[in-house]
Amino acid sequence: MGKKSKGLFTFRRRSKKPAVPSPSPPHPTAVEITSSPSENRLVTKAKKKTGGARLWMRFDRSGRSELVEWEKNTIIRHAAIPARDLRILGPVFSHSSNILARDKAMVVNLEFIKAIVTAEEILLLDPLRQEVLPFVEQLRLQLPHKAQPKLLGGGDEQDLPVPEGGEGLPSELLLPFEFQVLEIALEVVCTYLDSNVADLERGAYPVLDELARNVSTKNLEHVRSLKSNLTRLLARVQKVRDEIEHLLDDNEDMAQLYLTRKWLQNQQPEAQLGATTSNNLSIVRRLNSTRSGSVVTSNDDNDVEDLEMLLEAYFMQLDGTRNKILSVREYIDDTEDYVNIQLDNHRNELIQLQLTLTIASFAIAIETLIAGAFGMNIPCSLYEKDGIFWPFVGTITAVSVFLFLLVLAYAKWKKLLGS
């Protein structure tokens, strides 16, 4: 059996017997990944592909994964979601952020993470993209180590197995499976956005300082590009922040996201009959010890404290990231104001120089007028006097200089020129 490693997964192909090839089944190609704490296997089944199939990855509670290619109708039937939700996960809404609650699923569209989460599994779209790989890795690392609490049903408590790494955790710290996935998604997205903001900050301040020292076309182009990147990044952070804020403002929307609670309510008759098996793992509401010290069961539909605390934590983190972007934009605005002040100062100096030259031109024009008048050969007694030329020219020049100084002093008195 040949073995070839690629990325996070280990690829293996099933050996085929030299028998008569059987006809290919009509459904699309299915690629399965079985994940265990010791080994991850990728098994490829050669089947006929169809054009509408897309690549999805399934994760269950224990972190086991399966890579499949499913069509649109298969996803709709499996996750019990309307067709319009798949459009939200499509390329048209690739830059939007949505967390939508359905009867049996939660549709998550946060930046590059596009997933459908149920009370028992998560379906992740395009899991092999470079941006999605950190989220896949976090799911594989964290889901197997999340502790499972006791199942409360019909007054009887049933102990559920606790995976390694979850021992010693109090039950009040446990979250339902869908919130564990949502927490990992928000953590990955917030970390990604925060790293982008940090990179933007490291490149922004040197460029802005260089512009303040030297206003050139090259530096202005760098600042323009920086401002465009900052605007796009601010819009992305704002979309995620607004979606979380929208959920925090509506308790009914948050209550609809409790998929495990609704799943337990549907499974309540089976739990009372003792028909719940070890494969149907469930999570209950945590202990509300701060208020009454009693166990809050899944019947309390109005209690959204767990999700509210989770969303508030990441809302504050996104708000901090947004404030970093706003501080960079404020620094850009301050730099632009400083540059504009410099340009205005240079413009004022040019205006003062132009005004000074205009006054000098006025004084010289008067002397030129007198010289032009005498150059018209009009009969005048001054032509007959010897030695009158240079004294006359000197006198006219002195009068012009005096007139220039007089007008210049008047302009300074009116504060048209700087001191």
Q: List the domain boundaries for the chain.
A: 1-15+24-145, 344-413
pLDDT at 103 over 60: yes
Q: Residues 236-241: what's their mean pLDDT?
A: 93
* Nearest alpha carbon to residue 169 among 150, 185, 141: 150
Percentage of the chain surpassing pLDDT 90?
27
Res 184: pLDDT? 92
Confidence grade of residue 282 (pLDDT, cut at 50, 70, 90): very low
Res 165: pLDDT? 40
- CB count within 10 Å of CB 378 equals 8
CB 116 within 8 A of CB 75: yes
Write down the residue that tokens 């952070």 correspond to: 237
Which class does domain 1-15+24-145 fall in? mainly beta
User: 251-266, pLDDT tens digit by residue?
Assistant: 888 888 888 888 877 7
CB 57 within 8 A of CB 135: no
pLDDT at 2 over 60: no
Cβ neighbours of residue 200 closer than 8 Å, sequence gap 6 or more: 226, 229, 230, 233, 325, 328
User: 117-174, pLDDT tens digit by residue?
Assistant: 988 889 998 888 898 999 999 988 888 765 454 343 333 434 444 444 444 444 445 7
User: 192-201, pLDDT tens digit by residue?
Assistant: 999 999 999 9
What's the predicted TM-score (pTM) here? 0.66
- Both tokens of residue 216? 């050139």
Encoded amino acid at 16, one letter: K
CA distances, 38 to each of 5, 142, 149, 162, 321 (Å): 15, 15, 24, 18, 38
Handedness of CA 202, 204, 209, 214 (dihedral sign): positive
Rounded-to-integer distance, Cα 417 and Cα 411, Å: 6
Question: How confident is the prediction for the chain on average, in pLDDT?
Answer: 75
Helices 133-142 and 177-213: angle between axes, nearest 10 degrees: 140
pLDDT at 284 over 60: no
Res 194: pLDDT? 94
